[in-house]
């Protein structure tokens, strides 16, 4: 048995209004990733750690997601990216924060995991680490897209205050834009269970439009946006400050320690803890015994799943089979 689950961010209020013109491209990206990596994971060619790294790397290259190329712009109109990764069997982890010059932040996080120390590097130190280890460089001009620049200009013209977790317009999740502007979506993540029974989780993001320079969300924080141990792998998406305050990803693992706990019930309890703190969002998780969940409280969450040779994707409540 092998499982690979992906997300491309969660957000929005109200009823899902159906696909935008670019949604087929987003889902097509996920389908291509799952069709490539799913069989390789199932055959034993890829470990869980390799699968989540390759999956998130591919999502970072899709400019319609808010990670890598196509990340949203901070208040100073620059891109600052975060990523983290964790391996279940030994709880090894790696994380980079506020990087500006790396094509694939998840690769830098993966390399930190493999080196073993330190676990986390910030800003210029993380960029320099990546370059010293020959990871691919990327200029801001390449990372930025016309769409993200247009979104930043609208945010700036409407309200120049820095972002917060209270859902005002000072720095919205990009899913909260008007329908015609929802053409570049969110934080990406992957969780996997491989043929050897090992787990891994990875998450990558550009953060929130208009975020203050130096702001750190949940994505690079082990236990908040990403967690993996021998029992469960978790990747979260949503308003990061609330996920930090609840240690949401790790809390899911704690909930699973209760007698007769199910992954689905535990995941809903975690989202219920996050919600009162302004933490709308969702998560994906897979357990060592083969349970997989992809709950969200928002209008939508881009998601995809490879499970027992079957591929499904979804945006709103509906799912689609390949």
Which sequence positions are flagged as catalytic?
187
Cα atoms in the Cβ-side hemisphere of radius 13 Å centred on 36: 12
| 199: CB partners within 8 A, 6+ apart | 48, 87, 88, 89, 191, 192, 193, 228, 229, 230, 231, 232, 233, 286, 287, 288
Strand order in the sheet with 292-293: 226-228, 232-238, 281-287, 292-293
CA-closest candidate to residue 298, choices 5, 3, 2, 10: 10
How remote is the C-alpha of 54 from its chain's centroid?
A: 13
Tell me which residue has tokens 């712009």: 73
Cα atoms in the Cβ-side hemisphere of radius 13 Å centred on 228: 34
CA distance 80 to 143: 10
- Give one DSSP letter per residue of 55-97, joined into a string: HHHHHHT-TTBSSSTTPPP-TTS---EEEEEEETTT--EEEEE
CA distance 315 to 299: 9
Tokens of 276: 């009162």
| CB burial readout 181-203, b (16+ within 10 A) else e | ebbbbbbbbbbbbbeeebbbbbb
With H, G, I as helix, E, B as strand and everything else as coil, classify residue 158: helix
CA distance 219 to 73: 16
How remote is the C-alpha of 186 from its chain's centroid?
A: 8
């Amino acid at each position: 048995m092998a499982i690979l689950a992906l997300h491309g961010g969660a957000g929005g209020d109200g009823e899902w209004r159906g696909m935008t013109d670019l949604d087929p491209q987003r889902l097509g990206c996920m389908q291509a990733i799952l069709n490539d990596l799913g069989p390789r994971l199932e055959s034993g060619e890829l470990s869980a750690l390799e699968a989540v790294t390759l999956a998130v790397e591919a999502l970072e290259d899709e400019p319609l997601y808010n990670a890598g190329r196509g990340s949203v712009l901070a208040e100073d109109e620059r891109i600052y990216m975060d990523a983290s990764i964790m391996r279940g069997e030994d709880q090894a982890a790696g994380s980079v924060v506020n990087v500006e010059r790396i094509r694939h932040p998840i690769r830098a996080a993966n390399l930190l995991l493999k080196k073993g120390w330190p676990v986390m590097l910030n800003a210029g130190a993380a960029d320099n680490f990546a370059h010293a280890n020959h990871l691919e460089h990327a200029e801001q001009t390449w990372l930025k897209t016309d769409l993200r620049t247009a979104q930043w200009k609208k945010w700036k013209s409407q309200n120049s205050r820095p972002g917060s977790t209270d859902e005002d317009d000072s720095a919205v999740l990009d899913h909260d834009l008007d329908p015609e502007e929802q053409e570049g979506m969110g934080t990406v993540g992957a969780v996997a269970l491989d043929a050897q029974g090992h787990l891994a989780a990875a998450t990558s993001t550009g953060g929130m439009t208009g975020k203050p320079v130096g702001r750190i969300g949940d994505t690079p924080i082990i236990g908040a946006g990403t967690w993996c141990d021998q029992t469960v792998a978790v990747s979260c998406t949503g308003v990061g400050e609330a996920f930090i305050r609840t240690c949401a990803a790790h809390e899911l693992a704690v909930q699973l320690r209760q007698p007769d706990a199910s992954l689905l019930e535990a995941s809903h309890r975690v989202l219920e803890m996050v919600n009162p703190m302004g933490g709308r969002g969702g998560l994906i998780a897979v357990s060592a015994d083969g349970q997989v969940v992809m709950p969200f409280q928002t209008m939508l969450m881009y998601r995809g799943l490879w499970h027992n040779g079957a591929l499904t994707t979804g945006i709103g409540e509906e799912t689609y089979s390949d």
